[in-house]
């Protein structure tokens, strides 16, 4: 849903509150217009915007009251992949009824729409609040695994970064799946039609006119171009675009691409889902927790939704599609009897399909919170507080980068590092990220109760190469942050404050480890018999059940997972509509 320019320069926080009140039914359309006009937000588009929001809310509220017994398609989850899938499928198949189930609420809270405060959503009702259990790899620290529980999923609460996968990532997916359509060249064609790119045109790499608004960081914090100057001074490659040619090369540094439009988040729900919510064939039910899938034999027939009045079953006449993410999708499969037989038996769950890899192969990107500087002068953060980043190889022999350096205009630190070094609130950080981890974990059930969150046993940094790669990233971050080009923005290095080696460096790596919240890999796609889904995203051993989310990644893409998940959703839509 796009905003008119008459609104874009006004008080966005007030507008968000009014929109949220209208969507939630707390004020009428007339009350919305009066309140907006009284606040000086009136404009030629005011009535049109009110009409659009009112129509969406009324339409979906009415449909929620009169749910049908069966729909052609049921989609579980409205995250990046789910929104892309729903938007494309609804437009391509106007004859097919689609029920969309979202466990969270609408995405109109001010903290969602304002990208500058995205982190304030973490730990709220818009977050599933999962936590990876303590392990030796993180010096027995539990690590939060935030995940969006709101319309738009992660794209509604993340840091707004639009980063496309490396060629090496997608060609690996193609090899593992046995389907060339998962490879880089076809993926690039999808991204060209997806994007509404606002930077320098590039016929090969960038698209314009698509549903996804993305732009280079607008009016970035001055520390961001200073970081790029520092990289140049150290002979590190600096690129005109974070995406594009970087995908086929060995990395490089640039201003980030962001899904921020005129200071407001343009989530995948706003890009794909909202434009089809007024269609007769789409029903979106919010605050709908799917407890289990239903089956007749080995054929998926629908879903079971929990409620205060008891479970409700809704049938899918054609297919059920899971887009619930790297933690919730395997959980839902296991609760429904698809998983490792021994684990299911331990919880009293009858096995429908013995699928031992469900929940295995868990991967996430690690973000190290530990390299922090106090500035000479405080300048408030801009955009989503992260405007410049880069990719490098920790070893020359690697096929593609495994380390991502992210500049954060806040004193980003882990719990241990924050307590030990006590960085001033005005500080900024340059964080080393591990984006090609070799460590693997698992997601397993805590119980057979759908209300219980699963156990996330991430086993972060259990592979020694991951520790070495993060240590390399930390050393490079310190070299950049302490370079002459950064001198105007550095009063002192707060943490670690000195060169670390040996066990001291290893402990700093483990103590500073946090994550990007990019859970993936737990329902691996592959051509082998143990894979959870095949190249067409069908769950092996089950008819009429598919998965389209980060869980199907055979290996996590070495970038922020929003754009790769959009690609997965687009591929699912292609498959269902026979475009490829």
Q: Say what the alpha-carbon torsion angle 431, 436, 438, 443 is, to the nearest 10 degrees.
A: 90
Q: What is d(CA 548, CA 86) in angstroms, rounded to the nearest whole number?
A: 11
Q: What is d(CA 245, CA 199) in angstroms, rounded to the nearest whole number?
A: 14
**Does residue 362 contact residue 442 with C-beta atoms inside 8 Å?**
yes
Q: Locate 522 and state its tokens.
A: 């737990």
**Does residue 55 contact residue 47 with C-beta atoms inside 8 Å?**
no
Smallest Cα–Cα separation from 403: which of 393, 413, 414, 418? 393
Q: Which residues contact 144 (CB under 8 A, 6 or more apart)?
A: 122, 123, 129, 130, 131, 132, 514, 515, 517
518 is catalytic: yes
**Does residue 338 contact residue 352 with C-beta atoms inside 8 Å?**
yes
Longest dimension (CA), the chain: 68
CA 563 vs. chain centroid, Å, equals 8
Give kind and range of the element (H or E) at residue 18.
helix 12-24
* Pairs from 495-498 (Cβ < 8 Å, separation ≥ 24): 495/370, 495/371, 495/372, 495/413, 495/417, 495/420, 495/421, 495/423, 496/370, 496/371, 496/421, 497/421
Work out the number of other CB atoms within 10 angstroms of the CB of residue 312: 13
User: Residue 15 class from Cβ within 10 Å (0-12 exposed, 13-18 middle, 19+ buried)?
Assistant: buried
Give kind and range of the element (H or E) at residue 448.
none
Q: Locate 548 and state its tokens.
A: 């389209």
Q: Locate 181 and state its tokens.
A: 């359509």
Q: What is d(CA 215, CA 121) in angstroms, rounded to the nearest whole number?
A: 23
Q: Which of 20, 172, 518, 544 is catalytic?
A: 518
Q: Which residues contact 128 (CB under 8 A, 6 or more apart)?
A: 146, 147, 148, 149, 327, 328, 453
Smallest Cα–Cα separation from 286: which of 154, 470, 99? 99
Positions marked catalytic: 518
């Amino acid at each position: 849903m796009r905003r008119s320019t008459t609104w874009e320069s006004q008080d966005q926080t007030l507008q968000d509150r009014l929109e949220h009140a209208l969507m939630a039914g707390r004020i009428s359309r007339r009350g919305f217009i009066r309140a907006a006009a009284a606040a000086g937000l009136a404009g030629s588009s005011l009535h049109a915007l009110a009409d659009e929001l009112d129509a969406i809310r009324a339409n979906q509220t009415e449909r929620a009251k009169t749910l049908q017994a069966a729909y052609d398609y049921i989609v579980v989850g409205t995250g990046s992949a789910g929104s892309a899938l729903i938007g494309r499928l609804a437009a391509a198949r106007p004859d097919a009824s689609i029920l969309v189930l979202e466990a969270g609420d609408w995405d109109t809270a001010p903290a969602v729409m304002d990208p500058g405060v995205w982190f304030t959503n973490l730990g709220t009702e818009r977050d599933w609040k999962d936590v990876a259990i303590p392990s030796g790899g993180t010096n027995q620290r539990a690590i939060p695994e935030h995940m969006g529980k709101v319309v738009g999923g992660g794209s509604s609460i993340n840091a707004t970064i639009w980063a496309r996968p490396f060629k090496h990532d997608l060609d690996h997916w193609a090899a593992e799946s046995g389907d060339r359509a998962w490879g880089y060249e076809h993926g690039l064609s999808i991204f060209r039609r997806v994007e509404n790119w606002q930077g320098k045109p590039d016929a090969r790499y960038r698209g314009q006119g698509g549903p996804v608004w993305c732009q280079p960081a607008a009016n970035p914090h001055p520390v961001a171009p200073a970081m790029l100057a520092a990289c140049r001074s150290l002979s590190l490659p600096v690129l005109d675009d974070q995406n594009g040619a970087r995908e086929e090369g060995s990395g490089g540094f640039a201003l980030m691409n962001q899904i921020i439009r005129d200071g407001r988040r343009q989530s995948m729900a706003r890009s794909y889902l909202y434009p089809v919510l007024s269609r007769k064939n789409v029903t979106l039910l919010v605050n709908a927790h799917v407890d289990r899938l239903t089956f007749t034999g080995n054929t998926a027939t629908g879903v079971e939704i929990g409620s205060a009045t008891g479970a409700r079953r809704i049938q899918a006449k054609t297919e059920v599609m899971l887009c619930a993410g790297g933690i919730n999708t395997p959980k839902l499969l296991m609760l429904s009897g698809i998983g490792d037989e021994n684990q299911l038996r331990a919880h009293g769950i009858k096995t429908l399909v013995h699928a031992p890899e469900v929940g295995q192969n868990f991967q996430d990107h690690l973000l190290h919170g530990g390299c922090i500087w106090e500035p000479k002068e405080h300048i408030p953060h801009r955009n989503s507080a992260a405007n410049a980043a880069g990719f490098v190889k920790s070893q020359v022999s690697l096929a593609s980068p495994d380390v991502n350096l992210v500049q954060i205009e806040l004193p980003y630190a882990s719990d241990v590092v924050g307590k030990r070094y006590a960085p001033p609130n005005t500080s900024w950080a340059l964080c080393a990220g591990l984006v090609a981890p070799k460590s693997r974990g698992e997601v397993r059930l805590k119980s057979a109760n759908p209300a219980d969150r699963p156990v996330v046993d991430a086993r972060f940094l259990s592979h020694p190469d991951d520790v070495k790669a993060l240590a390399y990233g930390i050393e490079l971050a310190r070299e950049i942050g302490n370079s002459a080009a950064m001198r105007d923005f550095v009063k002192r290095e707060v943490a670690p404050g000195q060169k670390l080696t040996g066990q001291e460096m290893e402990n700093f790596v483990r103590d500073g480890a946090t994550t990007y919240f990019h859970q993936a890999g737990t329902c691996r796609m592959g051509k082998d018999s143990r894979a959870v889904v095949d190249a067409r995203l069908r769950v092996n051993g089950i008819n009429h059940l598919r998965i389209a989310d980060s869980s199907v990644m055979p290996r996590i893409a070495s970038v922020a997972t929003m754009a790769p998940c959009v690609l997965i959703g687009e591929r699912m839509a292609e498959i269902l509509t026979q475009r490829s």
